[in-house]
A and B are shown apart, each in its own frame.
Chain A
């Protein structure tokens, strides 16, 4: 009978391998959030008053336009990753935004309303230095691009090159900035460090050198960081060693030396160790800059100064002030300054740039997030109000990459968490039960204290449940009377509870900037966030769930291991994943670098799983390390093994735990690093369940799977990258004994290799350099027709090697990432989730990746429902689980089981985050969305009443017949 059921199930699954969503299901259980990354350039579209556009260029090579009223994306262009797509400069004039991309490789002009490309020019090679808009007679017509050894001028409307000139003495002089004051000349400023400044004047029309001079400046090392041009072509520099400002009129022929103004004469002083910063503003590229400028003397001290008639006069001192920025609206330029108000809030005020006077009623209060970082960038959008006064809005970027857009008097218009553009690792945690459910659970958790108190407790908790139910009914009734629009379903931590099928979970996301997020998986709402300060940019994170929500009243517990790559030292951050609060548990000190962690199924008396941390002397630290845990560890030490893979030495080593928490080396496999290097190693997922222990053959015998939980898949790549000699290797090795179970080599292949290791199979993808195509290969391991030991599995007692089957297929697209679906009991058939560079996520049935697919169809293979082998793997559009909701630069896919066996939760992250559910064998355990409840219930009731009536009629008829 079981065989019949399996057969039916397979034939059903064959019928429904397509897993696309229907049109009316769009957005029902999936959502996508788009991000841009850390903002490097931000410009407000000021050419019309009603404009809502905000142009941003980020370190993720994204150029985007945001709606400044809502924070939503108007459009977004995602360029190549790495230096090729790096955005060097963003300039805006009118409707056009000019972008220099890829270290001066391309010059592009974008139409800002719809985000269309107007023109693109390829620039000459050479490393990019600066770009500037160049205006003639109040009109901006050109854009100048300065490279290391050349300057070129391009037409702003067509992008055509007007002229390109080589810079004189470019091998000794470092040319760094361009200046144009709208007088028909372009000035290029260069510096010979600690010697002199070079100024070259070019004529705009033909690029002829009009003048070239050098000025002594022995103290100067870099122009870019310490100089600014103010007023009508005055170069202003600051030096912290001599504590002076230096001025130089750029176009005067007589002055050959910079004039020194001691900061002391202005009653100013630079804080030692701080590099002072000059900020000037040039509202219109066709006109000279303003004569007012900011000088930052310490991290929280700014001063507004004015240059007039060769003299510098302070206008206003801002102490303390974190950030200051200029903004222009029409003819008026204002300065916004952010000063600390108290511990949790900052106030932003507006000052007129030319006098330093404060504008009345322009305060914006910015409340700092206690779990966030400090503000580090301020972008100001100034506009003229109807009464001709200046209004403004600000965008604040904080250290944790949150963008906050504020308007007066401190209302947060929108907020974006750009840290989520760089998710490093994530986990999904079950939500807790509601308070009442937890109450019931807690009743059973506590120790029994007599019969009567238990009965009373039971009754009281039942009463609470009844109360809650009545309250729920009342709320339903109350809400039903309100118009639908006013009923808001806001998700907050307080109302969060596990749903019937455990489909809603808490997504924990760790980002590269060191910010942690707790996100509701159903709606995508950020429920909590926590910024961990002082995280090195290249730190390695490992997130471990030590206690789930199943152990009420103990709160769930997650541990984040942060390892500093430079020092090798690790630290632990323990927190509650539901509320995001830091746990009060004492964390062990980790004085030595941590190599790896190992989460044991052993639990302490508080139901937290024990985490072992292995340091560089192969000593083990347990966390938590109570007496109970240490006792348990001593008892089980002989069965605890761990492995370490050192890619740089090509060494795989296995260790066994001793009773005193030291370790002994039990095996070692060396893969010579001259030939190949270890790229990746993967075991099986700890929460994976395999329902079926074997496969049913056509003759109804069983081929048992080789389900070794200790099996590791090691992928190696050859060091020789020549296309004829390169290869990709895969080694299946037992992590306990170090025994090599299988070894395979793919010749004329190279990485990057993506692979999944699950159940009894490994699927990997590589690039075939001979045929120039991507190939999938699948390895499946079987024990044979008989199980060696069906009750226990021990790696130490496996005399028979498994049978290994392998098949390869051509995949018609490159891939970014690979993951397999996961369900609660492992009954549902498996699918592979393939993240494609196009941003689509393909749900590929594992059925197609089966090494038993026959080349010739036989009766038996038909009986087994094996698809005949075809080398080409299909990609069907209806297999894309995210239809048109593409995930840019998908970097990882996370799968988690839900409470329903048919359903697997999927989160794809990259630049964007996409959450959805997949049903690899269709929703066999749930009624369909369009299930006709009315029809079914009306038929049922109809039949019921018909039975009742006919029964009555029959009775009457019988009675009548009896009377006759």
Chain B
């Protein structure tokens, strides 16, 4: 559906074809064709030649920004630790009875640190730009471990951990008997 002429004629569909007979793209050549196609999809804005829609990054690093990054990274690293008082409060409020809500709480409390620990590498990537990357990672790890320890403690206090001998009672096999015995009253 290209019309003959000096430039490539782009059409966007039958309906458009009906609306306008032709359109001209100013940029020439195969390399810019694809870009022109994309541009035409984004809107019917024609960019002047040589225009790039990607912003040019500002490469000059400023001291204030660096502080900001550090701060941001510490926020990420301290996040799990900050949640602990909150978790403690929830733990206290939910009590030790076994019912659906405390169980849900415990599950959430246990699941969140585990999830965080599993996505540790992603977090490290986040902290990449910080200078105290390793310290922050350690703090983050400790915070999560503390969180899961708290969950385990909660499970323990609720009696959900198989730490007693009674929890393994069902798995004890009846002992094998060595003697065969029988008899009774004299018939």
Contacts of A794 in B (CB 8 A): 177-179
Rounded to whole angstroms, the CA-CA distance of A787 and B174 in the bound complex is 11
1/0 per position for B110-135, CB-CB distance to A under 8 A?
00000000000000000000000000
Out of B160, B166, B181, B187, name the residue touching A701 (CB < 8 Å): B166
Q: Using Cβ atoms and an 8 Å threshold, which residues of chain B touch A1?
A: 160, 162, 167
Question: At the interface, yes or no: B186 with Cβ under 8 Å from chain A?
Answer: yes
Please name the residue on chain B nearest to A696 by beta carbon.
B166
A793 contacts chain B at the CB level, 8 A cutoff:
yes
Q: Which of A584-607 contact B (CB under 8 A)?
A: 594-602
A641 CB–B CB distance under 8 Å: yes
Could you say which residues of chain A place their CB within 8 Å of the CB of B60?
Answer: none
Interface residues on chain A, number (Cβ under 8 Å): 58
Find out whether the CB atom of B169 lies under 8 angstroms from the CB atom of A793: no
With the chains together, A796 CA to B173 CA distance in Å?
A: 21
Q: Which of A542, A614, A642, A791 contacts B176 (CB 8 A)?
A: A791
Point out the residues of chain A lying under 8 angstroms from B4, CB to CB.
Answer: none
Given contacts A4-B160, A596-B187, contact A702 B177 (CB under 8 A): no
Q: Name the interface residues of B32-81: CB closer than 8 Å to any CB of A.
A: none
In contact, A693 and B180 (Cβ under 8 angstroms): no
Min CB–CB distance A816 → chain B (angstroms): 20
Partner of B181, one of A641, A693, A787: A641
B171 → chain A, closest Cβ, in Å? 8
Instruction: Give residues of chain B (149-166) contacting chain A, Cβ–Cβ below 8 Å.
Output: 159-160, 162, 164-166
Q: Is A923 an interface residue (CB 8 A)?
A: no
From the candidates B175, B177, B186, name the one contacting A646 in the complex (CB within 8 A): B186
Chain B residues contacting A694 (CB-CB under 8 Å) are 166, 169, 172
Closest beta carbon of chain B to A357's beta carbon, Å: 56
Determine whether B92 belongs to the interface, using a CB cutoff of 8 Å to chain A: no
Find residues 853-908 in chain A having any chain B CB closer than 8 Å to their own CB: none
The answer to whether A642 touches B166, judged by C-beta atoms less than 8 angstroms apart, is: no
A636 within 8 A of partner (CB): yes
Closest CB in chain A relative to B102 CB, distance in Å: 13
Residue B85 at the chain A interface, CB threshold 8 Å? no
Closest to B184 in A: A596
A4 touches B159 (CB 8 A): yes
B182 within 8 A of A: yes
* In-complex Cβ contact of B170 among A689, A692, A735, A789 (8 A): A692
A542 to B165, CA, bound (A): 44
Q: Give complex CA distance A793, B172 in Å.
A: 14
Closest chain A residue to B185, Cβ basis: A645
B178 engages A793 (CB within 8 Å): yes
Q: Cα distance A129–B185 when bound, in Å?
A: 41
Q: How many A-B residue pairs have CB under 8 A?
A: 136
Looking at B176, B182, B183, B186, the one whose CB has the most chain A CB atoms below 10 A away is B183
Contact check, A595 vs B186: say whether CB atoms are below 8 A apart: yes
- Report whether B185 and A3 are in contact in the complex, using a CB–CB cutoff of 8 Å: no
Cα–Cα distance between A694 and B187 once the two chains are bound (Å): 36
Nearest opposing residue in chain A for B175, CB measure = A793
A791 close to B175 (CB less than 8 A): yes
A796 to B180, CA, bound (A): 12
**B108: Cβ under 8 A from any A Cβ:** no
**CB pair A600 B180 closer than 8 Å:** yes
Q: Does A2 contact B (CB under 8 A)?
A: yes
Q: Is the CB of A644 within 8 A of B182?
A: no
- Inter-chain CA distance A833–B45, complex, in Å, is 93
> Would A735 and B175 be within 8 Å (CB), given that A2-B168, A2-B170 are in contact?
no
Asked if B179 contacts A639 (CB within 8 A), the reply is: yes
Question: Within the assembled complex, what's the spacing in Å between the Cα atoms of A565 and B160?
Answer: 62
B185 adjacent to A709 (CB under 8 Å): no
B138 interface residue (CB < 8 Å to A): no
Q: How far in angstroms is the closest Cβ of chain B from A792?
A: 5
Shortest Cβ distance from residue A287 to the other chain B in the assembled complex, whole angstroms: 56
List, in ascending order, chain B residues with CB within 8 A of A601's CB. Answer: 180
Q: Is B26's CB within 8 Å of the partner chain A?
A: no
Taken together as a complex, chains A and B put the C-alpha atoms of A792 and B172 apart, in Å, by: 12
Contact of B180 among A596, A636, A691 (CB under 8 A): A636
Question: Which residue of chain A is the closest to B170 with respect to CB atoms?
Answer: A2
B183 touches A790 (CB 8 A): no
Chain A residue contacts of B172, Cβ below 8 A: 693-694, 787, 790
Docked CA distance A553–B170 (Å): 36
Contact across chains for B159 and A693 when beta carbons are under 8 A apart:
no
In the docked arrangement, what's the CA distance between A792 and B185, Å? 28
A598 touches B182 (CB 8 A): yes
Of the residues A642, A647, A702, contact of B183 by C-beta under 8 Å: A642
Instruction: Tell me if A700 is interfacial: C-beta within 8 Å of chain B.
Output: yes
Q: Report B-chain residues with C-beta under 8 Å of the C-beta of A340.
A: none
Q: Is B24 engaged at the interface, CB distance under 8 Å to the other chain?
A: no
Q: Is A681 an interface residue (CB 8 A)?
A: yes
How long is the Cα–Cα vector from A600 to B181 in the complex, in angstroms? 8
Contacting residue for B182 out of A540, A636, A683, A793, CB 8 A: A683
Contacts of B159 in A (CB 8 A): 3-4, 700
Cα–Cα distance between A687 and B2 once the two chains are bound (Å): 92
In the assembled complex, the Cα of A831 lies from the Cα of B162 at a distance in Å of 30
Chain B residue nearest in CB terms to A653:
B183
CA distance A602 to B167 in the complex (A): 36
Chain B residues with CB under 8 A of A697: 166
Which A541-594 residues have C-beta < 8 A from chain B? Answer: 542, 563, 570, 594
Question: Given B166, B177, B187, which contacts A2 in the complex, CB threshold below 8 Å?
Answer: B166
Tell me, in angstroms, the Cα distance from A641 to B182 when the chains sit together. Answer: 7
Q: Which residues of A contact B183 (CB under 8 A)?
A: 596, 598, 614, 642-645, 735
Are B186 and A795 in touch, CB under 8 angstroms? no
Q: A599 contacts which of B167, B178, B182, B186 (Cβ < 8 Å)?
A: B182
CA distance A683 to B160 in the complex (A): 40
* Shortest Cβ distance from residue B177 to the other chain A in the assembled complex, whole angstroms: 5
Q: Do A642 and B182 have beta carbons less than 8 Å apart?
A: yes
CB distance from B96 to the nearest CB of A (A): 13
Give Cα distance in the complex from A241 to B172, angstroms: 79
CB-CB under 8 A from A646, the residues of chain B are: 185-186
Chain A residue nearest to B159 (CB atoms) is A3
Q: Is A807 close to B, CB under 8 A?
A: no
Structural contact, B181 and A709, CB atoms closer than 8 A: yes
Q: How far is the CA of A596 from the CA of B159 in the complex (A)?
A: 53
Cα distance A1–B103 when bound, in Å? Answer: 13
Distance in angstroms from B185 CB to nearest chain A CB is 5
State whether A681 touches B184 (Cβ < 8 A): yes
Kindly provide the distance from the CB of B183 to the nearest chain A CB, expressed in whole angstroms. Answer: 4
B98 proximal to A (CB < 8 A): yes
Query: Which residue of A is nearest B172, CB measured?
Result: A693
Query: Are A690 and B174 in contact, with the CB atoms below 8 A?
Result: yes
Instruction: Report how far A25 CA is from B179 CA in the complex, Å.
Output: 45
- In the bound complex, do residue B179 and residue A2 qualify as a contact, i.e. CB atoms below 8 Å apart? no
A606-653 contacts to B (CB < 8 Å): 614, 636, 639-647
Whether A641 and B187, one on each chain, are in contact in the complex, defined by CB atoms closer than 8 angstroms, is: no
Out of B98, B168, B175, which one reaches A792, CB within 8 Å? B175
Whether, in the assembled complex, A464 has its beta carbon less than 8 Å from a beta carbon of chain B, the answer is no
**When the two chains form the complex, which single residue of B98, B174, B177, B187 contacts A693, counting CB atoms closer than 8 Å?**
B174
A792 touches B181 (CB 8 A): no
* A829 touches B (CB below 8 Å): no
Cα separation A787 to B178 with both chains bound (whole Å): 17
B187 contacts A707, C-beta separation under 8 Å: no
Interface residue? A221 (CB, 8 A): no
Chain A residue numbers with a CB within 8 Å of B168 are 2
Shortest Cβ distance from B161 into chain A, in angstroms? 9
Docked Cα-Cα span, A735 to B180, in Å, equals: 10
- The 23 sampled A-B contact pairs (Cβ below 8 Å) are A595-B186, A598-B182, A636-B180, A639-B179, A640-B179, A641-B179, A643-B182, A645-B183, A647-B186, A681-B185, A683-B181, A692-B169, A692-B170, A700-B159, A701-B164, A701-B165, A702-B165, A736-B179, A787-B172, A792-B175, A792-B176, A793-B176, A793-B177
Given contact pairs A641-B181, A647-B186, enumerate 17 new A-B contacts (beta carbons under 8 Å).
A3-B167, A6-B166, A640-B181, A641-B179, A641-B180, A642-B182, A642-B183, A644-B186, A683-B184, A693-B174, A696-B166, A697-B166, A735-B181, A790-B173, A792-B175, A793-B175, A795-B181
Nearest 7 A-B pairs (CB), nearest first?
A: A598-B182, A642-B183, A700-B164, A643-B183, A696-B166, A793-B175, A794-B178
